[in-house]
Amino acid sequence: MKRKYEQQPKLKLYYFDIKGKGEPIRLLCAYAGIDIEDHRFVTRDEFLAMREGTRLPFSQVPMLEVDGKHSLVQSCAIMRYLGKLGGLYPVDPIQAAKVDALMEQETDTFIGTTVLTYGRRFGIDLTPDVKEKSYEQISDEVLPGHFRNIEKCLRASPTGWLAATDEPSPADFMWYVKLSLMAEKKELSEKIRTLEDFPKLRAFMEKFESLTPIQEYYASKDDHLEVPDSAAGKPWNATLPKTTI
């Protein structure tokens, strides 16, 4: 679409063959017309072998390799870098700080579900009962509280993008992917997964999915996934082809 540099750096993304934290990176590149090699580990052993080496500073992916010599990690940092490359990260420091805040807010919003899903990684081992109760509270109280705040951002945005940027900013890509993954998380209530009480967020999802480069990106994928039955026809993304979750 738009490219800031005539000659862009050579980019290679290392991530698993899932959406997760790799998908906002893939989508931003697709939208901005940034060429990127999307390397998806075929086996977990491939990732483990890489982790043994020196190319993953924090032993985690996504990792974006730039010109074969820089290993960029932490998805927010990668998104800011790509946003700058593609002209989607505001030059104005105040606007940029608003985009940053929305990216950090995405992490804060979903920290509970992340811990429940990957408890061991955090040194937390919860019983099934505690998990069930926690998902209930997250569905009924925690996420609605956060989403009310995001709806306020959207109401105040004349463009429909979270930080009121003219085009989607890195924060929009991250929120879009996280909300679409949430729609498939069966442990959460259907009400929250379908954003029933949050019309502005639903409109945001629809607006994002109607972007031509996003439509084209998914149309070019042949690894479509089924939409969960309970969500069929309801959420914004019911008709959109998906990459593996």
Ligand X SMILES: N[C@@H](CCC(=O)N[C@@H](CS)C(=O)NCC(=O)O)C(=O)O
Q: Report how many residues bind ligand X under the rule CB under 6 A.
A: 7
Shortest Å distance, C-beta 8 to ligand X: 22
Cβ atoms 34, 11 nearer than 8 A: yes
Among 19, 21, 178, 193, binds ligand X (CB under 6 A): 21
Classify residue 85 by burial, with Cβ atoms within 10 Å: 0-12, 13-18, 19+: buried
Strands 70-73 and 37-40: unpaired
Shortest Å distance, C-beta 210 to ligand X: 27
Footprint on residues 36-95 left by ligand X (CB under 6 A) = 60-62, 74-75
Is residue 26 a contact residue for ligand X (CB under 6 A)? no
Largest alpha-carbon pair distance within the chain? 56
Is residue 105 a contact residue for ligand X (CB under 6 A)? no
How far is 142 from 218, CA to CA, in rounded Å? 31
Shortest Å distance, C-beta 204 to ligand X: 21
Is residue 193 a contact residue for ligand X (CB under 6 A)? no
Cβ atoms 65, 57 nearer than 8 A: no
> Could you tell me which residues are beta bridge partners of residue 66?
11, 70
Among 8, 19, 20, 36, binds ligand X (CB under 6 A): 20
In terms of CB distance, is 107 or 239 closer to ligand X? 107
* Residues near ligand X, by CB under 6 A: 20-21, 60-62, 74-75
